[in-house]
Amino acid sequence: MKKRVVLIGGFNKTKSLATSLIKKGYRVTAINNDTQNCQSLAKIEKLTVFNGDGSKPFILEDANVYNADIAIVLTERDDSNLVICQLCKKRFHVKKTVALISDPKKTEFFYRMGIDSVVCAISAIAGIIEQQTFLDEMATLVPVGEGRIRIAQVPISGTAPAVDKKLWELSLPKEVIIGCVLRGDKSMIPRGDTRILAGDILVLISSDEHEVAAVKELTGR
């Protein structure tokens, strides 16, 4: 059976989430308390749309939230998001609840209140902007473990100080590992005596504090 996802509140986020989740084969329902937003959302094929305030139990009941697999709550207000998630969890036995919050200080409190996954848009976006601004050499970055560990691709240019050095010759911080070297269309797991060449792309696994130092050591910036 298809997994059921309920999206509550939000407009642009709901739109893109709904489209992507439907493509992945989920059964998606959206609840929105703005009539115009609902009409616009209803244009998405296969999306069930309900008009109403998601923090009211009877609206959730109408939308058949009962026993849904995932509820994603995206309204603008933290308090509404908390209440909707709790209603979903306690009254409608939704298996997993995801809440968007705007105040990063309340993340821990939300987890304590039984919400399964808390996404703080502001700190996530601030983190991305910071990376884009200061580490423009990195192609992609994947934060792991609440952002404490990061996996990054670091391209090595011809002028980088690490070029033609063996790995053991580099003085990288201890909490940094070069997990993989991408050379042309080949990838290899490096050893201490692997030589870095210009044009290599290194896959770096590091803690967030040591990332900047490591990138500096490798690329000189």
Q: Which residues bind another protein (CB under 8 A)?
A: 55-58, 77-80, 82-83, 86-87, 90-91, 103, 105-106, 109, 112-113
**Of residues 26 and 92, the one with the C-beta less far from another protein:** 92
**Of residues 81 and 206, the one with the C-beta less far from another protein:** 81
**Of residues 118 and 204, the one with the C-beta less far from another protein:** 118
**Of residues 27 and 56, the one with the C-beta less far from another protein:** 56
Least Å distance, CB 95 to another protein, is 18
> How many residues are there in the chain?
221
Least Å distance, CB 78 to another protein, is 6
Q: Which residue has the tokens 């990054």?
A: 152
Least Å distance, CB 81 to another protein, is 9
**Of residues 47 and 101, the one with the C-beta less far from another protein:** 101
Residue 205 contacts residue 179 (beta carbons within 8 Å): yes
In single-letter form, the type of residue at position 189 comes to: I
Residues in Cβ contact with 200 at an 8 Å cutoff, skipping those fewer than 6 apart? 155, 156, 181, 182, 183
Q: Starting at the earlier edge strand, list the strands of the sheet with 141-144.
A: 141-144, 149-155, 201-207, 176-183, 186-188
Least Å distance, CB 112 to another protein, is 6
- Residue of 168, 199, 160 lying closest to 183 (CA atoms): 199
Our CA angle for 121, 127, 133, nearest 5°, is 130
Least Å distance, CB 69 to another protein, is 21
